[in-house]
Structure 1
Amino acid sequence: MRRPEAPASTTLHGELVAALRDYIVEGSLADGARVPERLLCERFGISRTPLREALKVLAAEGLIELLPNRGARVRVFSAEDLHELFDVMGGLEALAGRLACERIGDAEVAEIERVHHEMYRHYLRRDLHGYFQCNQEIHGMIVAAAGNATLRATYDSLAGRIRRVRYAANLDKQRDRWGEAMREHEAILDALRRRAGSELSDVLFQHLRNKRKAALRQAEPAEIPE
C-alpha cells in the first residue's frame, strides 16, 4: 500500500529548517551574531512566521539561542563548554561503535561504506559542504546501528549543539585537520568491517578528541551584542 505523501507545508518547513541549519553551521554568521530575520526572509523568499518557526527548531537543537522579544543569536561556547561537550559526545560515539559491532549487518556496513566513498569524493573536490553532510550521516548511522534508543536520543540532543563547531574544525589552518579526519574515517570503516568493537570504540573517541583540539584552535572569544 502506498504511503500518503507528506503535506507540501510540512515538506517546505523541513527544507527551510535544513537550509537555515546549513547557513548557520557553515559560518555565514559569526559566533554570537544576531540572526538577521529580514535578510533571511529576503534570501529564502519567506515571511517572518515560517522563519520564526524554523528558528524554534534550531533553538531546540542548540544551534542558536532565542532572546526574549529580541530575536535570536548564534550560540557561543566557552573552551570549558567545548571540553565537556566533546568528551560526552566522544563517550557516546565510542559506546555506539562498540554496540554497533555487536549487531550491525552486512547491508548496513555496505551502506556506510557507500556514504564513506561519497564523502571521499567530496573531499577530493574540496567540497566541504558535501563532505560534512556525508560525515554527519556516517556518524548518525553508526549510532543508529547500536540499536539503543536511549543512546540515540541522548546523542541527538547534543549533536545539534556542536554541529557548527565540528564543521569549523575542518578549517583548522595550523594543520590539515580535514585530511586527518578523512584518514580517521578510513580507520573507522576498517574496524567496523571487521566488527572490532573495542578498536572502533577507541578510534571514535580519539576522533572526537582530535576534533575538539581543532575546534579549540579555531574558537576565538566573541563579543556578544546586547
Structure 2
Amino acid sequence: MQNSDIDAGLTPPPLMPKVERQRLHDTVVEHIRRFIVEGTLEPGKKLNERELCETLGISRTPLREALKVLAAEGLIDIEPNRGASVSKMDEAELRETFELMSGLEAFSGELAAERMTAVELTEIKALHYAMLACRAQNDLAGYYSRNQAIHDKINEAARNSALRQTYIAVNRRLQALRFRSNFQIPKWDSAIHDHDEMLKALEARDGKRLSAILRQHLLDKRDAVLQVQSREDAAAAKLKA
C-alpha cells in the first residue's frame, strides 16, 4: 500500500506547459513571418531583439527560438556576433526562385484539375469572391491572404506529397515578394484577371490551360518584383550619392 502511495505521488503531471510553450513558439514564428511578408520588416533590415520582444510581449528565449526556425526557412540570416537580419535575394536568386515556383505552380494546376473534389472547388470559389471583396476595399493584406489560400488549396488538391513539401519550402521564401508584386494597381488588377481565368479553367477541369495560366502568373510576379526592386535600389543609390 505504501509503495502504491509513493508511486502515485511520483506520477508525472500533465504535459500542458509543453503544449503552451509550443503554442507560443508557433505564434511568435507566425507573427514575425507576417511582419516579413507584409513589409513591416523589410529585406536586409537588421532585427532589434529588444524591440521585437516589446512588440510581441515575450522574452528573448522564445524570440531566438523563432528566429532559428525562420532562418531554416530562408527568411532570416543569422551571423555570429552580428545578430539577425531579414534575408534579401539578389537578382539572380530572385529570377531562379520565381522560375522554379512557376514550374511548381504549373504542375500543381495540372494535377489539381484532375483530382480536385467538388467541395474543394467550392472552397476556392468562396475564397475567390472574398478576395475580390478585399480588392474592392483596397485591403491588400486581406486580398493577399485569400490569394495565397487559393494557390495553397490548388497545390493541396494536386494530391502529391513530394510536390507539396517542395512547394511549401520554396513559397515561404517568395511570400514577401509576391505580396510586394501587388503594390502597383495595374499589377494588382492583372493578378485579379489571372485568378478569374484560373477559376474558369478549374471549373472546366482544363489542366493544360490552368497550368499555362499559373506558370505565366508567376513569371509576371517575378517581373513586377524586379521592377519594384530596381526602383528601390536606384532610390537608395541616390541617397548614398
Calculate the TM-score normalised by the size of structure 1.
0.91
AA aligned opposite 1:139: H
Give the equivalent residue in structure 1 for 2:118.
106
Q: What is the root-mean-square deviation in Å for CA atoms of aligned residues? A: 1.8
**Residue in 2 aligned with 1:131?**
143
Distance 1:24 1:52 in 2: 16
Within the candidate set 226, 237, 240, 1:216 is matched to 226
1:12 Cα deviation from its structure 2 partner: 2.4
- Which residue does the alignment assign to 1:153? 165
Amino acid in the other structure paired with 1:12: L
- Distance, in Å, in 2 between the alignment partners of 1:57 and 1:182 is 33
Over residues 161-196 of structure 1, what are the superposed CA-to-partner deviations in whole Å (9 max), with x where a residue is unaligned? 111111111113xx6111111111111111111110
Q: Does 1:52 align with 2:64?
A: yes
* Matched letter for residue 16 of structure 1: V
> If you compute each CA radius of gyration, which structure gives the higher value, 1 or 2?
2
Q: What is the deviation of 1:213?
A: 0.8
In structure 2, distance between residues paired with 1:69 and 1:110: 51
After TM superposition, the structure 1 = structure 2 runs for residues 78-89 of structure 1, keeping only pairs within 5 Å, are: 78-89=90-101
**Structure 2 stretches lacking a partner, 5+ long:** 1-15
2:211 alignment counterpart: 201
Deviation (angstroms), 1:8: 2.5
Distance 2:196 2:69 in 1: 33
Give 1:77's aligned residue: 89
**1:17 match: secondary structure:** helix
Matches of 1:170 and 1:198, distance apart in 2:
26
Match of 1:115 among 121, 124, 127: 127
1:30 corresponds to = 42
Matched, 1:15 2:32: no
Corresponding residue number in structure 1 for 2:155 = 143
Cα offset, 1:131, TM superposition: 1.0
CA–CA distance in structure 2, aligned partners of residues 93 and 45 of structure 1: 37
Q: CA deviation at 1:29?
A: 2.6
Q: CA deviation at 1:204?
A: 0.2
Give the conservation status (yes or no) of the 8 Å contact 2:24–2:62. Answer: no
Cα deviations by residue, 1:7-55 (Å, 9 ceiling, x for unpaired): 2322222222111111111112332111111111011111111111111
Letter in 1 for 2:134: H
Secondary structure at 2:78 match in 1: strand
CA distance in 1, matches of 2:129, 2:23: 29
1:166-177 correspondence runs (5 A): 166-172=178-184, 176-177=186-187
2:198 matches 1:188: yes
Structure holding more helix per residue:
2
Between the aligned partners of 1:124 and 1:184, the Cα distance in structure 2 is 16
CA contact (8 A) 1:123 1:131 kept: yes
**Which 4+ stretches in 1 moved above 3 angstroms?**
220-223
CA contact 1:63–1:162 (8 Å) conserved in 2: no
Conserved 8 A contact 1:63-1:164: no
Gapped regions of structure 1 (runs ≥ 5): none
Q: What is the CA-CA distance between 1:114 and the residue it aligns to? A: 1.1
* Further displaced range: 206-215 or 16-25: 16-25
